[in-house]
């Protein structure tokens, strides 16, 4: 059993090393609910961690999200606009989950479930995104809130070993 757990752990740790985006980090701004600063770090080709700090209706908002990206969802669409987007960059659909905290007189804690679209132009260090995120509010009372934002991030590529041909 220990051997299986070790092999699984080694595979999970090694997989990001071979991915093109692994380690790339983006910082930027988002406008909406909340508005503020955004950060994203790619763990592998399709998975990223996203975090943000900003203001939500006058309250300080912080959240972190584990995101899965589908880069192929739009490949079969024959629309000229979508085809033009795909020809000029990556256009992933993404979804995820993670904690969100609103700091106020009564701190509010919940779980976000964002769904969004991103555009990463080829030959560019920018990402543009838009998302909707239902929030399951757990404290101080239960309920549903809605986050939404559009934004952009500037990417600092990860340092990777160079290919020697």
Percent of the chain exceeding pLDDT 90 equals: 62
User: Computed from CA positions of residues 132, 136, 138, 139, in that sequence, does the dihedral angle turn out positive or negative?
Assistant: positive
Please tell me the least confidently modeled range out of 29-38, 77-86, 90-99, 140-149.
77-86
161 assigned to some structural domain: no
For the chain, how many structural domains are there in total? 1
pLDDT of residue 21: 78
164 assigned to some structural domain: no
10 assigned to some structural domain: no
| Residue 44, domain extent | 27-156
96: confidence class by pLDDT, cuts 50, 70, 90: very high
28: confidence class by pLDDT, cuts 50, 70, 90: very high
Other beta carbons less than 10 A from residue 131's beta carbon: 23
Which residues lie below 8 Å from residue 128, measured CB to CB, with a gap of 6+? 118, 119, 150, 151, 152
CATH code of 72's domain: 2.40.160.20
pLDDT tens-digit readout, 30-54: 999 999 999 999 999 999 999 999 9
112: confidence class by pLDDT, cuts 50, 70, 90: very high
pLDDT of residue 107: 94
pLDDT of residue 156: 86
2: confidence class by pLDDT, cuts 50, 70, 90: low
């Amino acid at each position: 059993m220990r051997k299986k757990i070790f092999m699984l752990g080694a595979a999970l740790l090694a997989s990001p090393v071979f991915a093109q985006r692994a380690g790339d980090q983006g910082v930027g701004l988002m406008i909406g609910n909340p508005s503020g600063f955004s950060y994203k770090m790619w763990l592998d080709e399709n998975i990223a961690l996203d975090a943000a700090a900003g203001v939500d209706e006058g309250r300080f908002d912080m959240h972190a999200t584990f995101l899965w990206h589908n880069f192929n969802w739009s490949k079969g669409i024959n629309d000229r606009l979508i085809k033009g987007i795909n020809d000029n960059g990556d256009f992933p659909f993404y979804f995820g989950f993670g904690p969100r905290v609103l700091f106020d007189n009564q701190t509010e804690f919940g779980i976000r479930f964002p769904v969004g679209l991103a555009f990463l132009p080829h030959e560019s260090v920018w990402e543009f995104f838009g998302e909707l995120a239902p929030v399951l509010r757990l404290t101080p009372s239960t309920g549903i809130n809605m986050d939404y934002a559009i934004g952009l991030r500037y990417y600092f590529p990860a340092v990777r070993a160079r290919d020697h041909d």
